[in-house]
Chains A and B, each alone.
Chain A
Amino acid sequence: MISKDYVIFDPHGMHARPATALLKLTRQYKSVFSLKKDGKLIQMKSMLNILSLTVKCGDTISAIVEGEDEKEASYALDAFFNEEMKKF
């Protein structure tokens, strides 16, 4: 299991567009992805659940991956949260 914290820089937070992209990313891996904010944990499978975390600009979230390809998956999350998130 790999757990990492990320700060959300997008002014709108984790809104529909990045959430869509995030869901697409998770489908490329066998690992199970979860997100945690303020003690609330959700699986990154459902758009509804991701948005229900209300991740805002400046928030810190933990992303957890678990599975045989968790290392690669975690790298992909790094790239997503540190680079791609800024483009939305």
Chain B
Amino acid sequence: MKGTGVSPGISIGKAFIINKFKASVSGIKLKTEESKIVEIRNFDNAVHASVSEIETMKVSKGTDLRQADIDILETQIEFLNDPQIKSDVTDKINDEDATAWDAVIKVIEGAVKMFREMDDEYMSARAADIQDVGNRILRHLDFNESPTTGDLCENSIIIADDIAPSDTISLDISKVTGFATRLGGKTSHTAIIAKGKGIPAVVACGDELLNIRNDDIIILDGTTGEVIAKPDQGQIDEYLHKQKLFREKRLLLESIKDLPSKTTDGHMVKVYANISAPDDLEQVYENGGEGIGLLRTEMLFMGRDSFPSEEEQFQFYRLVAIKSKNLPVIIRTIDIGGDKQLNYFGIPVENNPFLGYRAIRICLDRKDIFMPQLRAILRASAFGTLKIMFPMICNVDEVIQAKECVRQAKNDLTDSGIKFDSDIELGIMIEIPSAALTADILAREVDFFSIGTNDLCQYTMAVDRMNDSVSMLYNHFNPGVLRLIQKVIEEAHKQGKQVGMCGEMASDPLATLLLLGMGLDEFSMSPASIPVIKNIIINHTLTEAGDILGRVMDMDNPDSITSYLQEVLK
């Protein structure tokens, strides 16, 4: 069966089922005022007992509790003491003649429903906390009910409808090797706990999960969401192997995540990430990214019927700025045209769309599109360390014009008294050969370069890599491409400007040492590639990289370069 993987990794273990206590309304009506007073007192007592139960748990577990567990327990105490819940329950008893039992079920049901319906995943997941609190009060109202307990054995996989915050504290987590739940979502409590403890978890498995019995052997893949009950030996072997690979990768990731990207002889570079939306930042942190080398803004413009307003764009950039925790973020202005078309902005059919009306060419022609984006980015720059980057620059005049637009946008904002970072850095993408060849001229005008190897390759070699009959020619180890890249870095450094790379070459492990040797300052790639590239950087010296560069620049074709680089990395 398949659910949603929420905490990556593979676990193989024995099922341990937690049966959720399910309370139902009795329908009993209270007949006297006295009985209402008694019921309200019963409710108060149950709340007190629940609070002291949690306090006892806090004390008895003492130093075993992590701060996160203490927070969960304190939140539960807040809910137990919540004046709104208390007055709602009291009202139900007084006005609807309900027993405390029924009143609690109804009030909790209402609150759970309210949270489930919130269009915020985090908040809707809080429904579990409230249900948990409700169940605890109910247990204290009826002494026949007791929480599920049993003996967990080593390598248990917890099977449940959903895992309540308090379950994870009362369970001996060290014996839990996985979680599979029938319900839940990406931000459910199960997901948060499992991720925090590094235990694989799959949620939203559906009713098929009910077929699992205690002690069944279970395989669970928290990456793909696959859950296999009673696997055969072949499946077990397959997943044991996958588990081994995953653990090796995680170990590598954990060990280097927080290390700076520094060669063993002390040369520092930066490993950044390419992202498209604020939510991608989480993955960047998980993989140890040190900044954002490319924020594509096309996402904002695609999948809609008209251009987004300045305000809409501002909200998007501001969220990125806030979530980036002050790491540098390079925002690329809109890069449409070529293979990226907007259905509400018709570009006439062109013979050569890749050599046509696209990116900065559109922006400089259509200020009504460009200016709102620049103003929105500038406004957001008050909330983080943002930089602006222009794509598809082919001559210095375009840079001068683009800078003039930024100056105008700044004036607009100053006139309106809106705050922004007046020293915001401006850079350009180097992806057209004429730009690469005039790097010395362009470097005077900007603060940084970022090399876009995908387009640079295709323009330098005149190869459309989407065209199957010529795509084999496409290769970033072509000596012509390598010479261009080397020149760009050299010229920029002569003027003290930084050079990054945000094309696919930056994430190619074979290219890492070569680029390091050329002096590339910043490697930007998809978040998942970061650990691999960082690992190469921190295990080599700049001297080695320089030697490799020397050898490669003496070679005459991409195949011999590739096989040499493969040999080096072995």
Contact = CB atoms under 8 A, between A and B. Distances in A.
A51 interface: yes
Contacts of B83: 45-46
Interface string A29-68: 0000000000000000111110110101110000000000
Interface in B89-144: 111, 114-115, 118-120, 122-123, 126, 129-130
B437 interface: no
Chain B: interface size category: 20 to 34
B323 A57 contact: yes
Contacts of B30: none
B82 A51 contact: no
A23 interface: yes
A78 B455 CA distance: 49
Contacts of A51: 115, 123, 126
B340 to A, nearest CB: 27
A81 interface: no
Contacts of A47: 75, 78-79, 82
A54 B117 CA distance: 11
A17 B84 contact: no
A9 interface: yes
Contact of B82 (A12, A48, A57): A48
B78 to A, nearest CB: 4
Contacts of A19: 75, 78
B71 interface: yes
B318 interface: yes
Given A48-B84, A48-B85, A58-B319, A13 B122 contact: yes
Interface in B47-95: 71, 74-75, 78-79, 82-85
A9 B79 contact: no
B422 interface: no
Interface string A1-21: 000000001011101110110
A48 B122 contact: no
Contacts of A23: 78
Contacts of A12: 122
B411 interface: no
Q: B-side binding surface: helix, strand, loop or mixed?
A: helix
A17 B75 contact: yes
B268 interface: no
Contacts of A9: 322
A18 to B, nearest CB: 10
Contacts of A57: 319, 322-323
A45 B85 CA distance: 11
B75 A46 contact: no
Contact of B78 (A11, A20, A54, A56): A20
B315 interface: yes
Contact of B79 (A48, A52, A54, A58): A48
A23 B80 CA distance: 13
B175 to A, nearest CB: 27
B75 A20 contact: yes
Nearest to A16: B75
A57 B440 CA distance: 43
B84 A54 contact: no
Nearest to A45: B83
Contacts of B78: 16, 19-20, 23, 47
Contact of B114 (A11, A16, A52, A58): A52
Contacts of B318: 58
A11 to B, nearest CB: 5
Interface in B406-452: none
Nearest to B165: A16
B84 A16 contact: no
A54 B120 contact: yes
Given A46-B83, A48-B82, A54 B123 contact: yes
A34 to B, nearest CB: 14
Nearest to B123: A54
Contacts of B122: 12-13, 15
Contacts of B74: 20
A20 B71 contact: yes
Contact of B84 (A11, A13, A49, A56): A49
Contacts of B75: 16-17, 19-20, 47
Interface of B: 71, 74-75, 78-79, 82-85, 111, 114-115, 118-120, 122-123, 126, 129-130, 315, 318-319, 322-323
23 contacts: A9-B322, A13-B120, A13-B122, A15-B122, A16-B71, A17-B75, A19-B75, A19-B78, A20-B71, A20-B75, A20-B78, A45-B84, A46-B85, A48-B82, A48-B84, A51-B126, A52-B114, A54-B118, A54-B120, A57-B322, A57-B323, A58-B319, A58-B322
Interface of A: 9, 11-13, 15-17, 19-20, 23, 45-49, 51-52, 54, 56-58
User: Considering the complex of A and B, which 3 residue pairs feature the smallest CB-CB distances, nearest first?
Assistant: A46-B84, A47-B78, A16-B75
